[in-house]
């Protein structure tokens, strides 16, 4: 096909078999491919996703497989192509919008919050739209390519927010997001793209939106987290168990809106202590909302204050040493846990 991209790897253009080991990025590719194969109304739209195959190569080969009517390259105009996708969704299509970096979702804030998110409430009009893209730091992307904007949208009615942390969940949740009748924001931490792996499940492998996952059972303290911070929490849990005898329970939220209050409160009532870990500025954060809900529903079970461990209220630094200091890490998380466990 003229103008298409040929990767030299035919597996990049065909669905992989169940049981195949895949990266986090490939899991999202495979989920999108299956949804596009299953329904003609699913299409992709965004900057450089066709001929180039995406900034992170997530859609490489899609133009060859699905054609330019279903893999649509756009100008650098987020407000424009998100608006086009909303209109297509209202007409019965199922658009998946890629933002090259999720930071620039701010350019389409009005369309997402004031239009897509409110249409069902206003007159019962569904908007089956997915807005997805890479978020997060630890890749030295500086202030405009490292943000975690989920807190902005937690306040907006009518939106769902999904943040997978494993390859299996990335596969299952992107498929559930495409099938949802209303807008889903799907935030993919770019640090995970090629650093973690999992296996494609048998069958559809759908993961329900709105359900958290108990990633590690423990008895002494609950760490509630999501995205790349899940792996920080799990590493800290192993370190604390080996060196301090502290047994952490780790809850992976997976979905930030709606939150799974039952799983969160069940864990905290068991352990009696809670720390909410997230890679976002602390003020106005998802972590603050989770902490408030724990205080409301679990006060009688708490043996210490509910704590948050987030980033400072500054832009993400470019300098690698400054970014390392800015982001929560295993060592500082262990110190925070030890202090909370001593109450």
If DSSP codes are grouped into helix, strand and coil, which group holds residue 224? strand
* Rounded Cα gap, residues 123 and 121, in angstroms: 6
Q: Which two tokens stand for residue 175?
A: 């498929």
Structure tokens at 292: 């408030």
CB 153 within 8 A of CB 194: no
**Axis-axis angle for helices 229-243, 330-341 (nearest 10):** 60
Give exposure, 149-187, as e/b (b: 16+ Cβ within 10 Å): bbbbbbebebbbbbbbbbbbbbbbbbbbbbbbebbbbbb
**Cα 48 → chain centroid:** 21
230 touches 212 (CB < 8 A): no
Q: What is the C-alpha separation between 88 and 94, in angstroms, rounded? A: 7
Count of beta carbons in the 10 Å neighbourhood of residue 54: 23
Phi first, then psi: what are they for 51, rounded to 5°?
-60, -40
In terms of DSSP H, where are the helices of the chain? 24-38, 62-66, 78-90, 109-110, 119-123, 150-154, 167-179, 229-243, 261-271, 286-298, 320-326, 330-341
**Is there a contact between 70 and 43 (Cβ–Cβ < 8 Å)?**
yes
Give me the torsion for CA of 293, 297, 301, 302, rounded to 10°.
20
Q: Point out the catalytic residue in the list 145, 155, 231, 325.
A: 145
Any catalytic annotation for residue 145?
Answer: yes
Instruction: List active site positions.
Output: 145
């Amino acid at each position: 096909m003229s103008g298409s991209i040929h990767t030299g790897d035919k597996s990049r253009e065909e669905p992989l078999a169940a049981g195949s080991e895949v990266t986090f990025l490939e899991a999202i590719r495979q989920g999108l491919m299956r949804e596009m194969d299953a329904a003609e109304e699913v299409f992709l739209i965004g900057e450089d996703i066709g001929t180039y195959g995406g900034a992170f190569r997530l859609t490489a080969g899609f133009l060859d497989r699905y054609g330019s009517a279903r893999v649509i390259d756009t100008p650098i105009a987020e407000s424009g192509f998100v608006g086009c996708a909303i209109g297509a969704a209202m007409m019965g299509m199922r658009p998946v919008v890629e933002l090259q970096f999720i930071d620039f979702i701010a350019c389409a804030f009005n369309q997402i919050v004031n239009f897509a998110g409110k249409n069902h409430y206003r007159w019962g009009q569904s908007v089956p739209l997915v807005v997805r893209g890479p978020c997060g730091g630890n890749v030295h992307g500086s202030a405009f390519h490292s943000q975690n904007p989920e807190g902005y949208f937690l306040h907006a009615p009518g939106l769902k927010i999904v943040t997978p942390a494993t390859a299996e969940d990335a596969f299952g949740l992107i498929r559930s997001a495409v099938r949802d009748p209303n807008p889903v924001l799907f935030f993919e931490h770019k640090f995970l793209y090629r650093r973690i792996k999992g296996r494609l499940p048998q069958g559809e492998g759908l993961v329900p939106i709105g359900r958290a996952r108990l990633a590690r059972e423990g008895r002494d303290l609950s760490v509630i987290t999501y995205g790349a911070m899940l792996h920080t929490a799990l590493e800290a849990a192993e370190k604390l168990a080996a060196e301090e005898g502290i047994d952490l329970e780790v809850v992976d939220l997976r979905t930030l809106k709606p939150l799974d209050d039952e799983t969160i409160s069940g864990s905290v009532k068991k352990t009696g202590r809670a720390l909410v870990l997230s890679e976002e500025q602390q003020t106005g954060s998802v972590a603050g909302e989770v902490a408030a809900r724990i205080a409301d529903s679990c006060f009688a079970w708490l043996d210490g204050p509910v704590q948050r461990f987030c980033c400072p209220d500054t832009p993400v630094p470019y300098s690698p040493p400054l970014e390392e200091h800015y982001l929560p890490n295993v060592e500082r998380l262990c110190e925070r846990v030890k202090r909370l466990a001593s109450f």
